[in-house]
Amino acid sequence: MLAATQTYAPSEDFVRRAHVQGIEARRVLYEKAAEHPEEFWAEVAEREISWFQKWSHVFEWDPPFAKWFVGAKTNAAYNCLDRHLATHRKNKVAILWEGEPGDQRLLSYQELHRLVCRFANVLKGRGLKAGDKAIIYMPMVPELPVAMLACARIGVTHSVVFGGFSAEALKARIQDLGATVVITADGGWRRGKEIRLKDAADEALTECPTVRDVIVLQRTGSAVNMTPGRDHWWHELDQNASEDCPAEPLDSEHPLFVLYTSGTTGKPKGILHTTGGYLTMVTATMKWVFDLRDEDTYWCTADIGWVTGHSYIVYGPLSAGATTVMYEGAPDYPAFDRWWRIVEKYRVNIFYTSPTAIRALIRQGDQWPNAHDLSSLRLLGSVGEPINPAAWEWYYRVIGKERCPIVDTWWQTETGAILISPMPGAVPLKPGSATLPLPGVIPDIVDLTGKPVADGQEGFLVIRRPWPSMLRTIWGDPQRYKEQYWSRVPGVYFTGDAARRDADGYYWILGRVDDVMNVSGHRLSTMEVESALVRHPAVAEAAVVGRPDEITGQAVCAFVTLKKGDWNHRDLAEELRKWVAHEIGSFAKPAEIRFTDALPKTRSGKIMRRLLRELVTSQTVTGDTTTLEDMGVITRLAAQQEED
Ligand code: PRX
């Protein structure tokens, strides 16, 4: 239930030291941005980012294509590294890293700069230049941000593929991007086991003719196959690399990265982000939302393979000159207090995680956090899915000891940066609400005709005005970009989320309205899992829906009809789960597989996922079934459920 009973105002002490102090200060900032957006963003960009050349104009809008800071030149790596070297941050820890086995590395800004320059020269040595594309498929080790920043430094557009994705998923991304280089590692550690990345890369690369070079970091030291001529060890190429590599002045609209995310079809979308606008917003939100101070130790627990890691482990924190913590492994390894050990050991001040993680930790009991000194924490954050008030209260009480505001940050891969979130020194909190939009962000809640709904009513969350860090297009598919985001409700950005606004103007995000599931804060399309399932020789048809799950928010539930044959359902269910892991990645494995002799369909043959969703959610189907071709199907599925 998303209903707040109490509001939580920040303490006087917190407000006094905050970047934005009090609700009135927020209002002034918000109104200024709303009334004079170009002036406002120009000021922010000037203050937060170093430019080699200023823009001729702030903004160009050829709906639905936007350009920000037109004509300006900058460089993301320069902003994340070089500009700090002339300040007190030169020897400040930039990346504070802990590996799962307990190994540790502290890289100062100066040292990180050196590593990035060397690796940028390695890439140049392989013939890479601005405009080329690189796939990065690595564990959570410092060389992952080094690789990203090295690409950014010379204008190579990177696409990081989460290490949990399978060879098949990796292959699709390499092909869609047209990458010429793949940067990977032998493997990484997770729950004490090696995730063998190079093996998966080898499997993917059998069908990727554009790839000329594979650069392999040695992380675990286990044996891997190296294809002569194509594969090179990172440490060998790096050995003689020069440390001199000036950051290239790139156009503000130069493509910084493409990040693939699930849409409503089987094919993932390559979300394109560019340089100047993206950097401006991720940097500004470090102050507005995380209230970052120079002395803070900041930790976002995401994986860099997702957008949260891009914006709030790498680009945002480093551009803002923070000390950003990176942890390689699982939160429960070797025990459920691993995160709290890290918080205690490094005196973490700002901690940013997902509701799924919080719920999983609640289940293990308070003794794990209670065994550690968490008094360094001053601000907590949440992202990826709606946080239920009970989990919020626990986070507030047991982790934050009722001292730390919680910023519930709403955003998406497409938005690049946080758009709706409390400013912690300004906005009283209501558990379960992402509260108010940030300056320059004009959301609304509308019906399908675009008409705003009344306060308290549920509707579609849209954003009325373009913002600097918005996606520029879907890689290679501008038509899909137009259709997906700018056509459902004409003239506004369609988020795909349902929401309502209360009488105080607070936003309550209710979840997706499309065929996108949110499993553990990871986006997954029902179609993607369905297409994976039907590629299996035993499967005739599949329909996938998300069902509510106490820990992961949603869980994947698959309805499967089989081709003729004598199948052992139990064995086959297990095999299909493995199959999905192979086709997409382990995180996409269905929690439940139900075999059925038919799927509910409309007369035109469309699978009625709505009914299946209702079935797995409420155990019965009461919705409109008049278009169902075979009413018996639902009855049988429901009856079968009762038998189970
Ligand atoms: O449904 C919303 C949910 O996650 C979706 C975006 O997923 P993704 O692009 O993978 O990015 C996740 C990390 C930014 C949104 O459409 N979502 C994200 N944050 C919240 C949220 N739902 C409710 N509250 C949030 N704070």
Determine the pLDDT at residue 618.
Answer: 79
Ligand 1, atom 10: closest residue by C-alpha: 523
Distance 511 CA to ligand 1 centre (A): 8
pLDDT digits (tens, 9 = 90+) for 300-341: 999 999 999 999 999 999 999 999 999 999 999 999 999 999
Determine the pLDDT at residue 522.
Answer: 86
Distance 597 CA to ligand 1 centre (A): 35
Determine the pLDDT at residue 1.
Answer: 43
Q: Which of 357, 418, 424 is nearest to 391 (CA)?
A: 357
Distance 384 CA to ligand 1 centre (A): 4
Quick one: average pLDDT of 196-211? 98
79 half-sphere exposure, CB direction, 13 A CA radius: 32
Ligand 1, atom 25: closest residue by C-alpha: 410
Burial class (CB in 10 A: 0-12, 13-18, 19+), 142: buried
Tell me, using a 6 A CB cutoff, whether residue 261 lines ligand 1. Answer: yes
Q: Which of 303, 353, 348, 299 is nearest to 325 (CA)?
A: 299
Tell me, using a 6 A CB cutoff, whether residue 15 lines ligand 1. Answer: no
Quick one: average pLDDT of 266-276? 94
Q: Which of 434, 422, 356, 348 is nearest to 395 (CA)?
A: 356
Cα–Cα distance, 394 to 371 (Å, whole number): 16
Please give the angle made by the CA atoms of 488, 492 and 493, to the nearest 5 degrees.
80
Distance 552 CA to ligand 1 centre (A): 13
Phi-psi region of 440 (alpha: psi -120 to 50; beta: other; left: phi over 0): left
According to the CATH classification, is domain 12-493 in 3.40.50.12780?
yes
Phi-psi region of 412 (alpha: psi -120 to 50; beta: other; left: phi over 0): beta
Distance 185 CA to ligand 1 centre (A): 29
User: Is residue 623 very low, low, confident or very high in pLDDT (cuts 50, 70, 90)?
Assistant: low
pLDDT digits (tens, 9 = 90+) for 95-149: 999 999 999 999 999 999 999 999 999 999 999 999 999 999 999 999 999 999 9
Tell me, using a 6 A CB cutoff, whether residue 171 lines ligand 1. Answer: no
Among 275-284, 549-558, 572-581, 614-623, the minimum mean pLDDT is found in 614-623
CATH superfamily of 517-643: ANL, C-terminal domain (3.30.300.30)
Structure-model confidence comparison of residues 628 and 462, the more confident one:
462
pLDDT digits (tens, 9 = 90+) for 3-37: 556 899 999 999 999 999 999 999 999 999 999 99
Domain boundaries, the chain: 12-493, 517-643
Quick one: average pLDDT of 534-555? 92
Distance 525 CA to ligand 1 centre (A): 14
Cβ atoms of 346 and 325 within 8 Å: the answer is yes
Cβ atoms of 340 and 374 within 8 Å: the answer is yes
User: Is residue 641 very low, low, confident or very high in pLDDT (cuts 50, 70, 90)?
Assistant: low
Among 41-50, 275-284, 414-423, 579-588, the minimum mean pLDDT is found in 579-588
Tell me, using a 6 A CB cutoff, whether residue 310 lines ligand 1. Answer: no
According to DSSP, the residues that pair with 407 across neighbouring strands are: 381
For ligand 1, what atom is nearest to the CA of residue 512? 1
Determine the pLDDT at residue 634.
Answer: 76
- pTM for the predicted model, two decimal places: 0.93
Cα–Cα distance, 553 to 541 (Å, whole number): 26
Ligand 1, atom 3: closest residue by C-alpha: 385
